[in-house]
Amino acid sequence: MSKSKLLTKVREEIRRRNYSYRTEKAYRRWVIRFVKFHGLTHPLKMEKEEVVEFLNWLANERNVAASTQNQALCAIVFLYKHVLDKPLGAFDNLQRASKPKRLPVVLSPKQARRVLANMGGDARLMAELLYGSGLRQSECLRLRIKDIDFEFNQIWVRNGKGKKDRTTVLPEICKEKLKNQIKRVKLLHQKDLDKGFGKVVLPKALSKKYPNMPKEFGWQYLFPSVRRAEDPRTGKTQRYHKSSSYLHKAIKAAVSQTNIIKKVSSHTFRHSFATHLLQDGYDIRTVQELLGHKNVSTTMVYTHVLKKGGRGVKSPIDH
């Protein structure tokens, strides 16, 4: 199997399993780096030892983060298991990149409001959902019209982290803005339909099973991109959701207009959501469910943030 055939097979297997396009690009890049590291030797001619050597090099020589090494490991395991039909088994001599334990950066309620006050348009509404609903950035970007449930005051998060669905709170302050946003999307969708477009990407094989579903208004993205673009996987011209860079730049610009010196990102609003709920006395299990954490131990990190400096000890200099 040549290099081009190998990458084509990787792409086919990834798409057959309905992995995201970002995952597809990342896995292909890691396969290329792995092959280049071993002097363009075909993976079929290499064993587990060569895989461990590459992963240890990433950790020891390249000093990559633990998440980066883990992504490389997942890509190579996928290659051997699903493409080459040659499962690798356990890795005994793998040196894991260290994962430092850090507390999340959290804004105070006043700081969060100051950042939001310096934002406008779609970016502000998106940031309000991050802070008001505890959404991840990707979850917010992928919201569809049908995911907003005004009757039950909740937002449906479909296919979140770990391929799980969940519901979270719909902030009262966002309701009217969301209704106006839906009206704008409806007008945009109608213009697309009039021009012969109006389709969106659907999860799994729904578009094949229900050919007209990609044009249905309920499946349109809540925050559509300004321009239509060609889907690299199908070649069809569709309207995707806004890019992550759009929100990142808007938050960065808003923070720069304040005197906040914390490193603020879209995920900071999610951290703040969890911390402020615990601060208001909500049960940690409730917060866990709203965030979509698999284990409550992940949610427990926010209880550490709530502790006052020095574990609540009063400094003697303050007496």
Cα 58 from Cα 296, distance rounded (Å): 31
> Which positions are annotated as active-site residues?
136, 161, 267, 270, 293, 302
Instruction: Provide the 8-state DSSP code for 82.
Output: I
CA–CA dist 4, 20 (Å, integer):
21
Which residue do the tokens 């982290």 mark?
161
Rounded Cα distance, 277 and 283, in Å = 8
What residue type is 60 in one-letter code?
A: N
Helices (H), 40-108: 48-60, 66-78
3-state secondary structure 113-152: HHHHHCCCHHHHHHHHHHHHHCCCHHHHHCCEHHHEECCC
**Cα 118 from Cα 227, distance rounded (Å):** 25
Nearest by Cα to 266 from 144, 143, 115: 115
